[in-house]
Each structure stands twice: as structure tokens, then as C-alpha cells.
Amino acid sequence: MDKIRQHFEQLVPLTEEEWEDISKGFYKTECAKGELILSEGDVGDFIAFIETGLFRFYHVKDGSEKIITFWFSGDVFSEYRSYLTNTPSRNYIESMQDGVIWKLKKKHMSEMYEKHPKLDRLGRKVTERIYLKLADRIDSFLQDSPKERYLDLLNRNPKLVQEIPQYMIASYLGISPESLSRLKKRI
């Protein structure tokens, strides 16, 4: 929980009372490799902080997985569209290795917004970061080459990238596994 508090404190300084109240809503979830944290059709009514692990956010179309993004230790994630609209997700979130996440339900956050106005600002800043990460991902697809996207992924977490299957990295980059193999040879 200390890492979560540090993360939040970077966004908005909290009093002991504010931290105590919001921290009551967190619950620890141990995730096994391959476990679905969210499935298509479920409502994503939580935000999660990754203590340890590696997670992928993806969509399945015509039997083919399309990787939207990867999340690493220290990241905060959510299926934000589902979170905001209380509608079923069209995507999946899966643990790619054993890990630990701390979930915070939307209902608890809403109660905290009413009780502590500063937490409303914290919630906004957390969700802005989630949005900006996805906006950066969209921009990357529109503006960067697959090579640039691959190098960015390597820079984010080179150790864990080695643990991601090549076909998933290729999907994330929007290229075929064969193209990824050629790209890696050129680097």
C-alpha cells in the first residue's frame, strides 16, 4: 500500500484522514498467470494498481487477439470506457504472470468524492493519466513506425518484454510475427 500512497501523493497531497478513508476501499487480489481480471461482457467497475506482475489489455475479433497495451508493476489501469459508462467491456484484461494488484471500486471512489473534495481531484488526475496513456498509444499508431513503437516498449520495461510472447508483441505493434522477427534483426 505504500507504493499506492506514494503514487497518489505525487498527484495530490493527502491528509492522514483522506488516505485512511480511501485506503479502506482497496482490496488485494493475487493473480495467477493466465487469469482474466476482466472479460468481454463484464463491467469494469474498478481501477487497479499493479504491485507486481505484467498484464495485457486486448480485444478479440474474428478469433484473433489484438493487443491494445501492456501494463507493468507501478502502473494504474482500468477498462476506462466501461468504468465511466457502467457498460459491458468489449475487451479483456489478463495477467501474463503471477502478480498482485490492488483494486478500488468505483462505488467507493464516488463515496470518497462526496466526503473529501480533494479526492475528487485525485480521481480526476488518476483517470487523466489512464486516458493519456491510451491517447499516447493511439498517437503512436498514427505517427510512429513499428520500429519506434518496439523501441518504446523496450524502453518502458526491457526485462519484462523478454517474457512477452513474440506473437503478442507483434499484435501490439500492429505487424505480423514475421515482420517483428525482421525488425529485431535490424535493430
Q: What tens digit of pLDDT does each residue of 49-99 get? A: 999 999 999 999 999 999 999 998 999 999 999 999 999 999 999 999 999
The angle subtended at Cα 72 by Cα 122 and Cα 11, nearest 5°, is 20
Q: Does domain 2-143 have CATH number 3.40.50.300?
A: no
Q: Provide the residue ranges of all domains of the chain, joining segments of one domain with +.
A: 2-143
**Regions in the chain scoring below 70 on pLDDT:** 160
β partners of residue 50: 101
Specify the pLDDT at position 17.
95
Specify the pLDDT at position 1.
85
Specify the pLDDT at position 48.
96
Specify the pLDDT at position 32.
98
| CA 93 to each of CA 13, 21, 22, 124: distance values in angstroms, whole numbers, following the listed order | 30, 28, 24, 22
Per-residue DSSP letter, 105: E
Contacts of 123 (CB under 8 A, 6+ apart): 109, 112, 113
Specify the pLDDT at position 12.
93
Specify the pLDDT at position 161.
75
Specify the pLDDT at position 156.
82
